Amino acid sequence: GENVEQHPSTLSVQEGDSAVIKCTYSDSASNYFPWYKQELGKRPQLIIDIRSNVGEKKDQRIAVTLNKTAKHFSLHITETQPEDSAVYFCAAGEGGGADGLTFGKGTHLIIQP
Amino acid sequence: GAVVSQHPSRVICKSGTSVKIECRSLDFQATTMFWYRQFPKKSLMLMATSNEGSKATYEQGVEKDKFLINHASLTLSTLTVTSAHPEDSSFYICSATSDGNTIYFGEGSWLTVV
């Protein structure tokens, strides 16, 4: 089955700086890579996703890059703000996610004022 | 956007009893629903995938007789934790999709077994 590794587990950055979270996956059949933001006890919120036919996607301060050959994808958040503080999960799945997602262990992002 | 609702949001039950959690898609027909389990400060672990009208597909290590999943209609899937034990206490969360392109998560259900 799929195995998703996520690093770092905790990331502390100064407000206004950029944050980068990296994930690797093992199953070359995976073709859907979403990123979720989760606050304690709440549902995961999709913040951005990328499919395997695209190498990079950007939405305002958030961008995701995908390297299919190396089987890794990264989340980039620029101009970080206090409200960006949360746990972020990467995930990978086949069939565009219709076959279920395998999540990384999560990154606790802390934005220092 | 599409809404997936879970009920109850919090439940406390006694050891040995069963508890049912419902997952509803409110404004779309969910051909596939997923059940995840999340321990505090841990990641989401896929438990099973259910398609309407057919038996759920369980992930390795998940006891199908303990975690009963029913997907009787295109808008409702239920997870029943049978003979609950304290170690079953966790955050259970469902997600649903109609086309496989967009996945919507429910609010999650906190289960505490005492």
Backbone dihedral angles phi then psi of residue A72, each to the nearest 5 degrees: -140, 155
Least confident range from A67-76, A79-88, A95-104, B73-82: namely A95-104
User: Helix H segments across B50-91?
Assistant: none
Q: Which of A9-23, B40-54, B56-70 has the lowest mean pLDDT?
A: B40-54
Would you call A54 an interface residue with chain B, using a CB distance cutoff of 8 Å? no
CB contact under 8 A, A106 and B43: yes
Tell me the per-residue pLDDT of A32-45, one tens digit each, with 9 for 90 and over: 999 999 998 889 99
* Segment A88-107 mean pLDDT: 88
- Give the other-Cβ count within 10 Å of B1's Cβ: 7
Cβ contacts from A onto B, under 8 A: 50
Instruction: Look at B99 and A67; give whichever has higher pLDDT.
Output: A67
Residue B101, number of CB atoms within 10 A of its CB: 13
Confidence of residue A97 (pLDDT cuts 50, 70, 90): confident
Q: What is the pLDDT of residues A39-84, one digit of tens each?
A: 988 899 999 999 988 899 999 999 999 999 999 999 999 999 999 9
- A43/B60 touch (CB, cutoff 8 Å), yes or no: no
Residues B17-34 pLDDT 10s? 999 999 999 989 988 999
Looking at residue B1, what is its pLDDT?
65
- Alpha-carbon distance B73 to nearest alpha carbon in chain A (angstroms): 18
Q: Specify the pLDDT at position B98.
A: 85
DSSP state of A93: B
- Region A14-36: mean pLDDT is 96
Tell me the mean pLDDT in the region B38-47. Answer: 91
**How far apart are the C-alpha atoms of A5 and B46, rounded to whole Å?**
15
Is the CB of residue A105 less than 8 Å away from at least one CB of chain B?
Answer: yes
With an 8 Å Cβ cutoff, are B46 and A44 in contact?
no
Q: Name the residue in chain A with its Cα closest to that of B110.
A: A41
Handedness of CA B94, B97, B101, B102 (dihedral sign): negative
